[in-house]
Amino acid sequence: MTAGASVAPRVAFGALREDYAQKRAAIDAAVARVLASGWFILGDEVARFEEEFARYLGVEHVVACANGTEAIALALQAAGLRPGDEVLVPANTCGPTLAGARLAGAAPRLCDVDPETLTVDAARAEAAWTPSLRLLLPVHLYGGVADAEGLLALAARRGATVVEDCAQSHGASWAGRMTGALGRTAAFSFYPTKNLGAYGDGGAVATRDAAAAGRARELRQYGWTRRDFAEHEGRNSRLDEIQAAILRAKLATLDAENRRRREIAERYDAAFAGLPLRLLRTRAHTVPSRHLYPVRVERGRRDAFQAHLASRGVETRIHYPVPLHLQPAYAFLGHRRGDFPVSEEACDTIVSLPIYPTLSEAQVAEVIEAVRGFFDANPGSRP
């Protein structure tokens, strides 16, 4: 429940129970199939999910792993990261992006984001450039697509490598190409709330590069090139068979569910167009996955806005409340408030509204009515 909530939400922020109820027959059959097989780690279900997800993305290889944070680390290492190499990371992202980079041994180089999309673009990436920067880690945040065209061109010009963070962009695309198929490698999370979510943790590395895929496969299981023999140091980061089977069942409905998310977003966009809210812009030639629907309210009004929606039964979240450079864990990077003003403004003003495939038309209308009601009651508010 959000701050100031006084009633149980009629429109919850998420609906995992409803999602399972809708897919119960397929999910139960998938789990039963694994239990009957007697094979639970790196078996046929994982191999078939890797093949099916690779085909969906339009890449040659997918390497499943234990979670999205380790997927970032594996994707960076598979793309050629050496310990101490600088990796460009947007200041406005979820903590696992930076945690995964650190897990891989990277030296993070933070940059600000575009104020209209809140994702990294080529201009801000180039402004943060140093001679030690070897990899770019753009995040397709909220289900939008980062500046793919600009960043790929910048990386080619500078001799750097692009590794995508696709934790929130399952099924999003740019110029007809899926996110996950744009850089040399890409990292996916299958945390339960994702557009393609497991019923536990899970992740994957996607790539067109056979050498990168082979490196990721070695690293995810102790560095083994054959059983009990390691060429390089690795880790234990394996997706289990039950989660792979569940993901296979859910992959079949991903495109339809993303279409429903976009329909809801279009309803919101139209309803909020005349309100003093800042809505996110979608980049040209992109199709977003609409993992989240963030809006920005006037600085200092967020608590009141959330409390108003909660009082009308609409649950909200903040993605994300504190930019990476202002979190104590990353004080060693040497930044202070004011270094990344766009990210700071976003973190001070952003609110995410409910958006998921099982949201009914009546619930969408409730969200719209609650948002509009706040501004009817507070006509002096400004974006």
Residue 383, pLDDT > 60, answer no
Residue 4, pLDDT > 50, answer no
Distances (CA, A) of 295 to 128, 217, 270, 367: 27, 39, 13, 13
Residue 241's pLDDT is 98
- CA 23, 26, 32, 33 dihedral sign is negative
Q: In the chain, pLDDT over 90 holds for what percent of residues? A: 95
Residue 377, pLDDT > 90, answer no
Three-state SS string over 244-288 comes to HHHHHHHHCCHHHHHHHHHHHHHHHHHHHCCCCCEECCCCCCEEC
CA distance 274 to 186: 38
Residue 7's pLDDT is 60
Are the C-beta atoms of 9 and 310 separated by less than 8 Å?
yes
Residue 382's pLDDT is 43
The 10s digit of each residue's pLDDT in 300-320 is 999 999 999 999 999 999 999
The 10s digit of each residue's pLDDT in 88-145 is 999 999 999 999 999 999 999 999 999 999 999 999 999 999 999 999 999 999 999 9
Instruction: Provide the pLDDT confidence category of residue 380 given band limits of 50, 70 and 90.
Output: low
Per-residue exposure over 334-371, b if at least 16 CB sit within 10 Å of its own CB, e if not: ebeeebbebbbbbbbbbbbbbbbbebeeebbebbbebb
For the chain, the domains span: 23-251, 254-377
Residue 1, pLDDT > 80, answer no
State whether residue 87 is helix, strand or coil: strand
For range 245-256, the mean pLDDT: 98
**Which residue type sits at 30?**
A
The 10s digit of each residue's pLDDT in 317-346 is 999 999 999 999 999 999 999 999 999 999
Edge-first strand order for the sheet with 86-90 is 61-65, 203-207, 185-189, 161-165, 133-136, 86-90, 107-111
Q: What is the CATH number of domain 254-377?
A: 3.90.1150.10
What is the distance in angstroms between the CA of the first residue and the CA of the last residue of the chain?
25
Angle among Cα 185, 188, 194 to the nearest 5 degrees reads 160
**Closest Cα partner for 242 from 32, 56, 48?**
32
Whether a cis peptide bond, with omega within 30° of 0, leads into 320 is yes
Are the C-beta atoms of 186 and 163 separated by less than 8 Å?
yes
Q: Is the pTM of this model over 0.85?
A: yes
What is the helix (H) or strand (E) element at residue 349, kind and residue range?
helix 341-349
- Six token digits for residue 97: 């992006």
CA distance 160 to 162: 7
Residue 112: what are its φ and ψ, rounded to 5°?
-85, 180
Residue 225, pLDDT > 80, answer yes
- Six token digits for residue 359: 């949201």
Q: Which CATH fold would you assign to the domain 23-251?
A: Aspartate Aminotransferase; domain 2 (3.40.640)
Instruction: Provide the pLDDT confidence category of residue 5 given band limits of 50, 70 and 90.
Output: very low
Kindly report which listed range (150-159, 180-189, 225-234) carries the lowest average pLDDT score.
Answer: 225-234
